[in-house]
């Protein structure tokens, strides 16, 4: 079985593609082929899929970050009648495509750090869950430019509660961001740092415990804000495993799909009707109203009201094998 390196150790002994050219050089039939793509050019991906399909009866295509909703849906529907191809990815579709199955890995790597690795468990324990005074109501850590993050920036700049929000928008220079630790000479948003002298971990995967210890809640501005697919990443994973209330700036039905995965949200303390609004501008305005609402509430009392929800979400995240769907399909393809 051939796989892209993104699959890491999910299928021990599998051979790996290193470039698309390796796919194009295939000349003998294969039992099964797995491809993985982090973002993509439509024409290039389409051609690679067609060529790989010529050499196998079972083709698995994993889309690591679906950065264009209509492009992805067009691709899925192009191959929907071919039962030999199965698509997976880090997102929940809000339209019908029978050949798509969600396989949420949350982080750039499918490795479940905070469940499996001692260094990550120790890192997470540095989040202080005691009830005590904190300087800020919210953390708001924005990354590279996106329309939803620009909207958050506009709301923040006009807010009467700026002093209650620990705010950062690093845009294209991560040195301008607030990370909670020294990032040294890192130059890219996915720059890896070494943890416990052995793990190379993306900055985005690390729970910002110092920032969380200064603030109560989190603003989550996701990587995409499409209505047709909700892309779920480390941006919401980190407040979930750190037991925090969050307000989301993402596509329509993002909260609904979190609940479909088994998580609980916070309608008991805020109005989550913003999740149902199809118009992005109005949805973001409604979401920001909930930020303002929480800034006016007593954070200790809010946390007490949702404590069981926070604990449930953390347990669900840490106990779930998020790669199970993908692994089962890979095993089936290999053993078939």
| pTM exceeds 0.85 | yes
Q: How far apart are CA 175 and CA 330, in angstroms?
A: 39
pLDDT confidence of 174, banded at 50, 70, 90? confident
pLDDT value of residue 9 = 73
pLDDT value of residue 84 = 93
- C-alpha triplet 53, 58, 62: angle, nearest 5°: 80
Q: How far apart are CA 224 and CA 65, in angstroms?
A: 9
Q: In 3D, which of 254, 300, 245 has the Cα closest to residue 276?
A: 254
pLDDT confidence of 298, banded at 50, 70, 90? very high
Q: How far apart are CA 263 and CA 68, in angstroms?
A: 26
Residue carrying the six token digits 């001692």: 118
Q: What region does 159 belong to: left with phi over 0, alpha with psi -120 to 50, or beta?
A: beta
Region 209-237 average pLDDT: 95
pLDDT value of residue 145 = 95
pLDDT value of residue 36 = 86
Give 60's strand partners: 34, 86
Region 209-222 average pLDDT: 97
Tell me the backbone φ, ψ of residue 248, rounded to 5 degrees: -110, 135
Q: What sign for the dihedral angle of Cα 16, 18, 22, 23?
A: positive
Specify the DSSP class assigned to residue 81: T
Region 261-280 average pLDDT: 98
Tell me the backbone φ, ψ of residue 141, rounded to 5 degrees: -110, 100
Give the tokens for residue 118. Answer: 């001692």
pLDDT value of residue 175 = 82
**Pick the residue with more confidence: 332 or 72?**
72
pLDDT confidence of 281, banded at 50, 70, 90? very high
- C-alpha triplet 298, 303, 308: angle, nearest 5°: 155
Beta strands 215-221 and 33-38 are: unpaired
**Pick the residue with more confidence: 194 or 86?**
86
pLDDT value of residue 190 = 59
Task: Count Cβ neighbours within 10 Å for each residue of 175-209 and write b for 16 or more, e otherwise.
Answer: eebbbbeeeeebeebeeebebeeeeebbbbbbbbb
Residue 7 in contact with residue 33, Cβ under 8 Å? no
User: Taking all residues of the chain, what is their mean pLDDT, rounded to a whole number?
Assistant: 90
Please check the confidence at residue 221 and state whether its pLDDT lies above 90. yes
Sheet containing 246-249: order of strands: 165-169, 136-142, 215-221, 246-249
Q: How far apart are CA 192 and CA 199, in angstroms?
A: 9
Q: What sign for the dihedral angle of Cα 303, 305, 311, 312?
A: negative
Tell me the backbone φ, ψ of residue 245, rounded to 5 degrees: -70, 140
Ordered alpha helix ranges (H), the chain? 20-24, 42-53, 69-78, 113-116, 118-124, 147-158, 209-212, 234-241, 254-260, 280-296, 299-319, 324-335
Please check the confidence at residue 236 and state whether its pLDDT lies above 70. yes
Fold of 113-319: Rossmann fold (3.40.50)
Of 19-28, 268-277, 289-298, minimum mean pLDDT range: 19-28
pLDDT value of residue 198 = 66
pLDDT value of residue 325 = 75
Please check the confidence at residue 191 and state whether its pLDDT lies above 70. no
pLDDT value of residue 186 = 65
């Amino acid at each position: 079985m051939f796989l892209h390196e993104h699959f890491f150790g999910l299928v021990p002994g599998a051979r790996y593609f290193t470039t698309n050219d390796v796919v194009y050089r295939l000349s003998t039939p294969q039992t099964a082929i797995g491809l993985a793509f982090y973002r993509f050019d439509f024409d290039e991906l389409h051609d690679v899929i067609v060529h790989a399909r010529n050499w196998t009866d079972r083709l698995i295509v994993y889309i690591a970050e679906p950065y264009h909703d209509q492009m992805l849906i067009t691709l899925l529907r192009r191959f929907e009648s071919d039962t030999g191809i199965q698509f997976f990815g880090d997102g929940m579709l809000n339209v019908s495509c029978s050949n798509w199955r969600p396989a949420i890995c949350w982080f750039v790597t499918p490795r479940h750090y905070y469940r499996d690795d001692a260094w990550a468990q120790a890192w997470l324990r540095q989040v202080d869950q005691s009830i005590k005074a904190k300087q800020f109501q919210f953390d708001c850590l924005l990354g590279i430019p996106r329309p939803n993050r620009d909207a958050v920036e506009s709301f923040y700049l006009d807010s009467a509660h700026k002093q209650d929000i620990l705010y950062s928008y690093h845009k294209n220079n991560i040195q301008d961001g607030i990370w909670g630790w020294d990032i040294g000479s890192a130059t890219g948003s996915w720059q890896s740092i070494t943890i416990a002298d052995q793990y190379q971990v993306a900055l985005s995967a690390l729970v910002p415990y110092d920032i969380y210890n200064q603030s109560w809640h989190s603003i989550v501005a996701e990587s995409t804000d499409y209505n047709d697919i909700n892309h779920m990443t480390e941006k919401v994973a980190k407040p979930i495993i750190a037991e925090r209330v969050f307000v989301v700036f993402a596509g329509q039905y993002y909260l609904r799909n979190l609940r479909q995965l088994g998580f609980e949200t916070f309608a008991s303390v805020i109005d989550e009707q913003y999740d149902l609004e199809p118009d992005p501008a109005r949805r973001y305005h409604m979401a920001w109203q909930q930020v303002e609402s929480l800034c006016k509430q007593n954070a200790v009392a809010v946390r007490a009201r949702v404590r069981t929800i926070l604990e449930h979400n953390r347990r669900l995240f840490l106990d779930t094998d998020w790669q199970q769907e993908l692994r089962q399909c890979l095993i089936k393809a290999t053993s078939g």
